[in-house]
Chains A and B, each alone.
Chain A
Amino acid sequence: MRDYPEGYLSERPSWTTAAGLADLVSAKLTVVGRGLSRSLLDILAVALLWVLVTYIYLWYGHKIYGYTVIPWWLFGVLTVELGALWGAFGVSPAQRLSGRRLVREDGGSPRLSQRVVYWLAWHVSVVPVLTLLVEPPLHERLSGLRFERVRTTGAAPIPWYRTSTGLYTAGVMVATVVAAIGVTVTWTNLQRLISDAWRTAKFWQALVSPDTSILQASFRDLIVTVFMAVMATTFSVIVAVPLSFLAARNLMKGPLGRIVYTLLRGTMSIVRSIEPIVWAIVFLVWVTARRAPFAGLLALWVHSIADLVKLYAEQLESINPGLIEAITSTGAGRLSVLRYAVVPQIINPYVSFTLYRWDINIRMATVVGVVGGGGIGQRLYSYVSGQQWSLAGTVMLMIVILVWAIDYLSARLRAKLA
């Protein structure tokens, strides 16, 4: 006899009850939503890129506003088509964001013919949305391809909204969309409907119209900011490494050790809980505003020390005491034990934490600058308060690029160390 699920014969089918029906509908909606959002995202990305490129090209090349060059209907068709092509033959933004990629049923990478089938079937499957109700969708079934989560060996894959790179990219995309809409609003006569829209539109428009005249000066400030971060990080490492040994519970034994440990950890957590901005203000008063970058540097320095001591010390606390026993038992002296039993266990995490902190310091350096701590942040602040939007926009763009680049670099380096 076949094994029917429990209640299969005695109970009513689930879809005859309201709750069962609701379940079914929501499940189907999820499926459609997933399929649709993947395609829509790619289409949107293509559209965005297109608009951006033409906008920048027309404005800088011909000093006119324009978005598509071609008629809107053609633009629509082309973006949909390009989105489909991107999804079928490359790694599209949606695939990247969801951390998935197309693979054959057996897990291998798709053949060209399969990709072509996938792309062709996509038109019948996705364009008339309802066909997406089938799971797996028609185009995946026909081509014999499916989506598979991209596995990174070692670490769990991080969703895009948890990485700062992902967030910045999303931020830049949203800002661009908003800017484009803002400009469109002034362009048509919709501005009269919302009186304030005009102001914001002008603001956004200025933001995305970089002013190259300040590029050189801003670049100099950018370098000041980077150096503030680098120096703050370096100096804080010099202080934090020795302190971390005094702040590690497993190394600080005996009554005196306990006192030092408690005092140090307590002080550090207080220092850390005060934001770098506040420290910047304190140091601005202290070293006077004329040496603004110095005050910013001190602020980052103090905060970094507190942060690093905690991270380092926790690393020290988790080392394997067995290795210390092993090296001690060879008759090695205290320093040798440190060098052969402790250092090998902490060196990589220490470098990793330092890079991480450097990455934070770059961002913090601009924030600290806003309160007068020097560097690019201060420049940004003076433009914003002077309502020089297009200058501010240029500076913001530079900051975004810098932060993104550093973030990427430090993430890559840290991945190497792990």
Chain B
Amino acid sequence: MTDAYLRIEDLTKVYERGQVVALRDLSFTVAKGEFLVVIGLSGSGKSTLLRCINRLIEPTRGKIVLDGVEITGLSPSRMRRVRRRIGMIFQQFNLIRRSTVIANTLTGRLGYMPTWKAMIGLFSQDDRERALENLARVGLREKAYVRADELSGGQQQRVGIARALMQDPELLLADEPVSALDPATSHSIMQYLEWMNRERGVTVLASLHFLSLARRYGTRIIALKDGQLVFDGPPKLIDNAKFKEIYGEDAEEVEVR
């Protein structure tokens, strides 16, 4: 437990509306540099878990400790300080549709700027250069001045990755980053995440729908069912029986190549 980078203890989330228990006394740790994949059926609490970690959602009970800092008790301003080192990418990409690709990428720096500069959009020359670099990294250098909604889904997700890169993240949360994409594009996006994990030493927590993707990219897999942990271990330990337990008796494994 000494090198636990992220520690989650008895995390519980109850949504007031509808009295849904999305997470139930969840505990696990993540070591620095891991590529942790979260799997589970729809509604099992994957999104809720990821959003609790950067407190987009307030946990009802439990503790989240990141790099020795207990996140759950932080004041809003200190929380923002922590958040800027936690990148996040989304299933629906969540870009400013009417803005250019570079403007979207630059928003990754907002956590590092004084409010007045953010208000008038005064990004430093350094930030702009880094935005172009990061766009080049995801192969979108020449699309920098195109409106975000003119890009394909895969390209939009790459902008999302560039935006996260701007944050200099130590931790990346990816909530079903490839669920809206076709298999080939999915692999290209996952490879960018893999690159961040291996070359930049970013710890990645990604929720995925396809077990084949989870096996291929994850160094470790955790599985949720009704907000509880039902599996925690390396990908190769998920056998047929385990698979049936996670996804239910009638499930068939689907391959994504």
Contact = CB atoms under 8 A, between A and B. Distances in A.
B86 interface: yes
Interface of A: 320, 322-323, 325-333, 335-336, 339-341, 344, 348
17 contacts: A320-B92, A322-B92, A323-B95, A323-B96, A325-B88, A326-B88, A326-B90, A326-B94, A328-B56, A329-B56, A329-B86, A330-B84, A330-B107, A331-B81, A331-B85, A333-B115, A335-B115
Contacts of B98: 344, 348
Contacts of B166: 330
A332 B119 contact: no
Contacts of B235: none
B115 to A, nearest CB: 5
A339 B103 CA distance: 13
B118 A325 contact: no
Listed residue (B80, B99, B160) with the most chain A CB atoms within 10 angstroms of its CB: B80
B30 to A, nearest CB: 18
Closest 5 CB pairs of A and B: A331-B111, A331-B84, A332-B110, A326-B94, A331-B83
Nearest to A332: B110
B105 to A, nearest CB: 11
Given A320-B94, A336-B110, A328 B118 contact: no
A304 B51 CA distance: 40
A344 B115 CA distance: 17
Given A329-B88, A330-B163, A339 B94 contact: no
A330 B167 contact: yes
B230 to A, nearest CB: 27
A192 B97 CA distance: 71
Listed residue (A320, A333, A339, A341) with the most chain B CB atoms within 10 angstroms of its CB: A333
B108 interface: yes
A340 B99 CA distance: 10
A325 B47 CA distance: 12
B54 interface: yes
Contacts of A331: 80-86, 110-112, 167
Interface residues of B, number: 35
Nearest to A348: B98
A329 B115 contact: no
Contacts of B96: 323, 340-341, 344
A329 B83 CA distance: 6
B217 to A, nearest CB: 22
Contact of B94 (A325, A333, A336, A348): A325
B146 to A, nearest CB: 16
A333 B119 CA distance: 10
Contacts of B88: 325-326, 329
Given A322-B92, A344-B99, A329 B110 contact: no
B104 to A, nearest CB: 9
A375 to B, nearest CB: 38
Listed residue (A325, A326, A344) with the most chain B CB atoms within 10 angstroms of its CB: A326
B165 to A, nearest CB: 11
B95 A340 contact: no
Given A331-B83, A335-B115, A340-B118, 4 more contacts: A325-B90, A330-B108, A330-B166, A332-B111
Contacts of A332: 80, 107, 110-111, 118
B93 to A, nearest CB: 8
B80 A335 contact: no
B110 A340 contact: yes
A333 B75 CA distance: 13
A213 to B, nearest CB: 52
A322 B167 CA distance: 18
Interface string B202-234: 000000000000000000000000000000000
B90 A322 contact: yes
Contacts of B167: 330-331
Nearest to A339: B119
Contact of A328 (B81, B83, B160): B83
A328 B173 CA distance: 13
Interface in B155-179: 160, 163, 166-167, 173
Nearest to B81: A331
A321 to B, nearest CB: 9
Given A328-B56, A329-B54, A335 B119 contact: yes
A333 B84 contact: no
Contacts of A329: 54, 56, 83, 86-88, 173
Contacts of A320: 92, 94
Nearest to A329: B88
A335 B111 contact: no
A322 B98 CA distance: 15
Contacts of B107: 326-327, 330, 332, 340
Contacts of B97: 344
Interface string B30-71: 000000000000000000000100101000000000000000
